Structure 1
Amino acid sequence: MVHAPVTPQHAPRPARPAGAWLSAAVALGCSAWLAGAAAHTPDLPAPALDAPAPLTPAGVLAPNAVSRAAPASSAAARAAVAPVPAQRVQLRGDAATPALTAYWFLPREGATPRALPVVVALHGCGGLLAQGARRDGTTAATSTVAGTTDVSALLQQRYREYAHWLTERGYAVLMPDSFSARGKPHGICAEPIDNRAIDERTRRADALAALRWVAQQPAVDASRIVLLGWSNGAQAVLATVDASRPWPAGTPPVERAVAFYPGCKRAVQQHSFRLRSPLLLMIGGADDWTPATRCAMLQSAVQARQPGARFRLEIYPGAYHGFDGTSELHRRTDVPAAAMRKSQSVTVGGDAVARVAALAQLDSWLASPDP
């Protein structure tokens, strides 16, 4: 496991609910990780996809709740994990980029008195929308908040939970949908990587459009923008913060970046790749879809080119692709084989111990004045 000491927290962080749960979460996450890494069992039970445990302080503090949570079937349980309502907005890029739908979350009124930091969050290859959502922005399942339909019900549970987790900490959150406007609302995972029309250049352009949009919003601190992504979206994070690429005029900088289990192959092959922003990259040591070894190679290459680069790599032994989720481990057979992975079968699913450690690490990274 590649691990560096957690940076001490010396500056105020975004507002959050009362209670000193963070220090307990970090301590518990670290101790649970150290104790569980050696005895890790990859088939750790977890709830089904339709009943994930919430990304809340309680969930962080109780790692067993990830694998033993009961289905959130009651109204009270659903309310406990419901994020603040989302607003559906339109992002306009350049002439070659269609207008994208994005989902904008703000902390609850009164949660913070100062200009808001922002997280721009980029979805994975499975898309942003839940399976029940339709391209026209409607869904068979609706959520009503204060008498109005909450459009966050259109999103996959993972992304709704992260929006809730981040807004609780005083962040505004923008989640652009890169796929629906291009006719692929439910993803491109089954498409061969080299044949995808929606590639990392496309998604980088979307990320830049999202950065420009958030910088124009009132009550936003454009100097505190975090770019975060998962899998295919994490590859877009790498492409966006690549300092060898030009930065468009009028686009605010990314203060720090977070990448969950990206495919690092292309960045490794790009010998000019350098970091424009501090980066936290988290990946499972057993990931057979986007191998951790390539990301370790990328870290070494970047640090050789940029001795002062802030590139933190966390590899969680025994964890697979999607370890921060709550689905049971299962094999996907719809993923095209790659050059270094002859099989079309990959393992995906949540890992209770790695999830706790990663959320504590993410919390610390976001809070640190000098990541």
Structure 2
Amino acid sequence: MRTTPASQRPHRLHRLAMCVAGVAGMLLAGAAIAHTPAPPTPALVQPANTAPLSALTPGATTRTPPATRAATPAQRVLLPAEQGAPALNAFWFVPREGNTPRTQPLPVVVALHGCNGLLGTRPETIRVEAGNSGNNAADSTVDAAPALQQRYREYAQWLAERGYAVLMPDSLSAHGRLPGCGDSPEARGMDERVRRTDALAALRWVARQPGIDASRIVLLGWSNGAQAVLATVDASRAWPADTPQVERAVAFYPACKRAVQQHNFRLRAPLLLMIGGADDWTPATRCAMLQSAVLARQPNARFRLEIYPGAYHGFDGTSELHVRRDVPGNSGNTRAGRGVTVGGDAVARVAAMAQLDSWLASPDP
């Protein structure tokens, strides 16, 4: 038998020790992996308490998320009355300048609320100077954002972080209406003609503001406000000569029934329409019909339709799923008298915000 020289024994022992240590490490690692629980599968139903937009979207967006910064305050402004239309209360968000002075005019989003209105249920004290001309808030040091519903506050901050100024006009107060969806739009005096008039007034107002790029206006709306978006960008309707064009439009779960029944409905701006596949208030099937009809009339129209399977009306919100029974029978829903399901959906919400981020960032949507 061959004997290993004494001079080589330490080296053999060292190699043996290294091998033993390596095998032990592999065994320990394997044990750790075997006992690591698999991550839970995301639920399709939104939990009652959900993180805000800013917390949900950064990992899902298609571009580098903006740096976290202080919340953008809102100024409460008054859009002057125009012929045949009352003055409009509105909330105006202008992103803060960073360390580098701003050199380019800002794009702007005009955002139209749903039938529940813009304001929250808590009364807020907001000082507004009587006789405000509509160009500035009475006191720009007072943040009016707390008066808004949580969803609208979150959207305004999300958009401001991406460099957009945001105007949110309040159509209900201007027309003496209370929040609520229990009556038809006609009974509320808030049909699409009225809301389109308000939207056009808002477009004219933002175009007059200093530091705003009037060629980059986005019109965005939810539910009844999204229906107003469709009415506003309908190319079959006359466009006032003194009103800036909408560069692109976004509609969250509108009622597409009227636009489908309008046989000459066409688009004057690119449209992103997002809706839940399980929506029983404003069914997605009608919006799919609208897209088909528009593309048949305008083969080159840019009409993007995103349907989120299993999601209900208001899927981009944070409320728990619940049934509303205050929806009128002539609202176009398929469950008149039985109520409709509304509420957030965490998965659809993240996907929709990523889609919205991509749509806004694209130079050619």
Q: TM-score, normalised by structure 2?
A: 0.78
CA distance in 1 between counterparts of 2:114 and 2:88 reads: 16
1:118, 1:171 within 8 Å by CA — same for their partners in 2? yes
Q: Which amino acid aligns with 2:57?
A: V
1:326 aligns to 2:318 (yes or no): yes
CA distance in 2 between counterparts of 1:236 and 1:172 reads: 20
SS across alignment from 2:273: strand
1:300-356 C-alpha deviation (Å, 9 max, x unpaired): 000000000000000000000000111111111111123543334111111010001
Provide the alpha-carbon RMSD of the alignment. 2.4
1:82, 1:160 within 8 Å by CA — same for their partners in 2? no
TM-aligned CA deviation for residue 81 of structure 1: 9.8
Give 2:174's match in structure 1, choosing from 181, 189, 200.
181
Partner of 2:354: 360
Counting only pairs closer than 5 Å after superposition, residues 1-150 of structure 1 correspond to structure 2 as 43-47=45-49, 53-56=51-54, 58-61=55-58, 83-110=71-98, 112-133=102-123, 148-150=141-143
TM-aligned CA deviation for residue 249 of structure 1: 1.0
Distance change (3 Å), C-alpha of 1:328 and 1:82: farther
Structure 1 vs Structure 2: percent identity of aligned residues?
A: 70
Counting only pairs closer than 5 Å after superposition, residues 249-328 of structure 1 correspond to structure 2 as 249-328=241-320
Aligned residues: 305
Q: TM-score, normalised by structure 1?
A: 0.77
Larger RCO (CA within 8 A; separation ≥ 6): 1
Distance change (3 Å), C-alpha of 1:204 and 1:147: closer
Partner of 1:248: 240
CA distance in 1 between counterparts of 2:287 and 2:171 reads: 24
Structure 2 unmatched ranges of 5 or more: 1-39, 61-67, 128-138
Distance change (3 Å), C-alpha of 1:270 and 1:147: closer
SS across alignment from 2:291: helix
Q: Which amino acid aligns with 1:90?
A: L
Give 1:335's match in structure 2, choosing from 300, 318, 327.
327
Of structures 1 and 2, the larger Rg is shown by 2
CA distance in 1 between counterparts of 2:265 and 2:180 reads: 25
1:130, 1:157 within 8 Å by CA — same for their partners in 2? yes
TM-aligned CA deviation for residue 268 of structure 1: 0.4
CA distance in 1 between counterparts of 2:59 and 2:299 reads: 38
SS across alignment from 2:75: strand
Partner of 1:349: 343
2:75, 2:140 within 8 Å by CA — same for their partners in 1? no
Distance change (3 Å), C-alpha of 1:183 and 1:212: same
SS across alignment from 2:221: strand
Distance change (3 Å), C-alpha of 1:151 and 1:44: closer
Q: After the TM superposition, which of the residue ranges 302-311 and 333-342 deviates more from structure 2?
A: 333-342
Give 2:218's match in structure 1, choosing from 222, 226, 230.
226
Partner of 2:25: none
TM-aligned CA deviation for residue 96 of structure 1: 1.7
CA distance in 2 between counterparts of 1:255 and 1:277 reads: 6
CA distance in 2 between counterparts of 1:62 and 1:350 reads: 19
CA distance in 1 between counterparts of 2:328 and 2:227 reads: 17
1:81, 1:164 within 8 Å by CA — same for their partners in 2? no
1:263, 1:291 within 8 Å by CA — same for their partners in 2? yes
Q: After the TM superposition, which of the residue ranges 103-112 and 163-172 deviates more from structure 2?
A: 103-112
SS across alignment from 2:53: coil
2:45, 2:344 within 8 Å by CA — same for their partners in 1? no
CA distance in 2 between counterparts of 1:242 and 1:251 reads: 14
CA distance in 2 between counterparts of 1:87 and 1:93 reads: 19
SS across alignment from 1:175: strand
1:336, 1:344 within 8 Å by CA — same for their partners in 2? no
CA distance in 1 between counterparts of 2:293 and 2:250 reads: 18
Distance change (3 Å), C-alpha of 1:337 and 1:147: closer
1:337, 1:344 within 8 Å by CA — same for their partners in 2? no
